[in-house]
Amino acid sequence: MTLIAFIGTLMAGGIVAWITARWSETLSRWIALTTVLIDLVWSVVILINNRPDFSATDWLIRFDYPWIGRFGIGISVAADGLSLILLILTFFLGAASVIVSWREIRQRVGFFHFNLLWVLAGIAGVFVVMDLFLFYFFWEVMLIPMYFLIGIWGHENRRYAAMKFFIFTQASGLMMLLSILGLYFIHGNNTGTYTFDYFELLTATFGDTAGRWLMLGFLAAFIVKLPVVPFHSWLPDAHSQAPTAGSVILAGLLLKTGAYGILRFVLPLFPDAAREFSNVAMILGVVGIIYGALLAYGQTDLKRLVAYTSVSHMGFVMLGIFSFNELAFQGVVMQLVAHGLSTGALFVIAGALYERIHTRDLSLMGGFWSGTPFMGFITLVFVMASLGLPGLVNFVAEFLILNGAWQTSHVLAVIGAIGLVLAMAYSLRIMRKIFFGPVADIGVGMRDLTLCEKVVLVPMTLLVIFLGLFPQHVFNASEKSVKDILAMVNSNNKP
């Protein structure tokens, strides 16, 4: 029930926040914040209670309830270490999003928070549901409020960006729906039980061709979301046009649902097809690393630059997932957390700068360190995280992914490692353009970070350092999930 309560709290909180905004916008903000914080504290408590041994049970929390028995749809939710980590990340970045919107969002405050909390509910749902029908439902729940967040509160080109986001996600989501139905009917025909239940469908058997097509349907939705080059082109527009909270959630969380989907559904449901596809997938990952980095280096819009770094960083995820070993898998889990924190923080900083100087154009910035050293320092930490400096969490992730990839393919690991050099180039460019060089006119008299911004950024900074030095807290939680998935990849669908 706990997991349903997580989602229910967010949905209810969203409605309440929407209604109360009629009387007081501040109250609406506080309700939204409290709701997310309740979930955050709650999920952290669950994590702490399950320490240090996460492998005692198959699932830390599981709840099944038959809902529409006739069609084999059940309310089935479950969380293992992997889900729990991602849930905590969701609530953490969710709380950050509410706080950064405190000053930024002035219009339709209630509806904004409704959408924000419903996106979070959708994401939380995706991370826990174990029924494919519900999974598709939550997949859509993420999409529509996010469409509004971009389309209503976004920047100058928001309509275009929102529409692009919608079309890409919806089109690929429909392919997943086809695959879900295909799986449902094939399994039903074979066994006589028509069900959307994940655990039941894990035992499904089908031929190679069917498996390939079904997998591609799922994969379409996930690699568009991740995103994998060449399906990434919705991302720079959506990220750069969204309001700060939207960018944080998009980069920090929505992209993770793609990775989670591959780990949780594609690999276990279609191990044969996934193994067959692994070479192509790893190449796509490496292409993403390099292509995203090159594009990031060329950008002049700060948010677009950060958006393309996401493409590059998610290339590592793709490379790691299809390397099929424990090192790479744990690296992927860590990369999801690391990227959520570091890119989320960079978007918060971009938002803070935009609020002060009303531009995202890097060529207008420069020399801000002298006026805003605190912001400079925080940015430095996240820029270093983004280029994979050891001691920060991203290094652990990328080191493990590349090390794992090396065991599978030397060449691809080497090309991926070249991405680290490019990462250095685009990351240092952020520092140079914003904080170093002669002081730009636009930044004269700019104030340093406000309390609100510090409340968000300081914990993120500390987490990035803490997890860089003590990553084992995450690895302990995800170890069993990762090993289970690995075992399933090595099984097969053959009858």
Partner 1 sequence: MSTIEYLWLVPFLPLLGALLLIVVGRSMSKAAIAWIGAGSVVLSALVVIVIGIGFLSSPGVYEISVWQWFVVGNLNPSIELHLDALSLIFIFVITFVGFLIHVYSVEFMREDSGYARFFACLNLFVCSMLLLVLAGNLVLLYLGWEGVGLCSYLLIGFWYEDPKNGYAARKAFIITRVGDTAMLIGLFLLFSTFSTLDIETILSAAPTEWEQGSSIATLAALLLLGGAVGKSAQLPLQNWLPDAMAGPTPVSALIHAATMVTAGVYLIARMYVVFELSPVAMTTVGVVGAVTLLIAGFSAITQTDLKRVLAYSTISQIGYMFLALGVGAWSAAIFHFFTHAFFKALLFLCAGVIIEALHHEHDIFRMGGLRKQLPFVFVAFFAGAASLAALPLVTSGFYSKDMILWYAWAGEKGNGLLYAAGLVGALVTALYTARLVIVTFFGSARTPVSKKPGWHMTLPLGVLAVLSITTGFLEVPHNFWHGQLISGFLSDVLPATTIQPGSEAYEWLLQLVAVMATLVGVFIGYYIYMATPGLHEIVKMKMAPLHGLMQAGWGFDALYDLLFVRPVTWMARANRGDIIDGIYTGIAWVTMAANRAFAMTQNGVMRWYVLGIVVGALLIITLGIFV
The answer to whether 180 and 288 have CB atoms below 8 angstroms apart is no
> Interface with partner 1 includes 411 (CB under 8 A)?
no
Q: Residue from 297, 354, 364, 455 that binds partner 1 (CB under 8 A)?
A: 297
Q: Which of 364, 389, 446, 488 binds partner 1 (CB under 8 A)?
A: 389
Q: Name the minimum Å distance from CB 326 to partner 1.
A: 4
Instruction: Answer for the pair 6, 42: CB distance below 8 angstroms, yes or no.
Output: yes
Q: Is 182 an interacting residue with respect to partner 1 (CB under 8 A)?
A: no
**Residue 171 binds partner 1 (CB under 8 A):** no
3-state secondary structure of 58: coil
Stretch that binds partner 1, among 106-114, 211-219, 258-266, 417-425 (CB under 8 A): 417-425
What one-character-per-residue DSSP string does 422-468 give? HHHHHHHHHHHHHTSSSPPGGGTT-----HHHHHHHHHHHHHHHHHH
In degrees to the nearest 10, what's the CA dihedral of 204, 208, 213, 216? 90
Interface region with partner 1, contact rule CB under 8 A, candidates 11-19, 54-62, 100-108, 435-443: 435-443
The one among 403, 452, 459, 492 contacting partner 1 by CB under 8 A: 403
Which residues lie below 8 Å from residue 209, measured CB to CB, with a gap of 6+?
none
Residue 413 interacting with partner 1 (CB under 8 A): yes
Q: Nearest approach, Cβ of 284 to partner 1 (angstroms)?
A: 13
Q: How far apart are CA 239 and CA 352, in angstroms?
A: 15
CA distance 219 to 42: 32
Task: Tell me the closest approach of the beta carbon of residue 432 to partner 1, in angstroms.
Answer: 5
Q: Express the helix, strand and coil content of the chain in percent, nearest 5 each.
A: 75, 5, 20
Based on the shown chain and the rule CB under 8 A, indicate whether residue 316 belongs to the binding site for partner 1.
no
Q: Does 425 bind partner 1 (CB under 8 A)?
A: yes
**Looking only at residues 267 through 296 of this chain, which bind partner 1 when binding is defined by CB under 8 A?**
294-295
- Using rule CB under 8 A, residue 371 touches partner 1: no
What's the maximum distance between 2 C-alpha atoms anywhere in the chain?
Answer: 72
Answer yes or no whether residue 480 interacts with partner 1 by CB under 8 A: no
DSSP 8-state code for residue 264: I
The footprint of partner 1 (CB under 8 A) covers 164, 229-230, 232-233, 236, 294-295, 297-300, 325-327, 330-331, 367, 369-370, 373, 377, 384, 389-391, 395-396, 399-400, 402-403, 406-407, 413-414, 417-418, 420-422, 424-425, 428, 432, 435-439, 469-472, 475
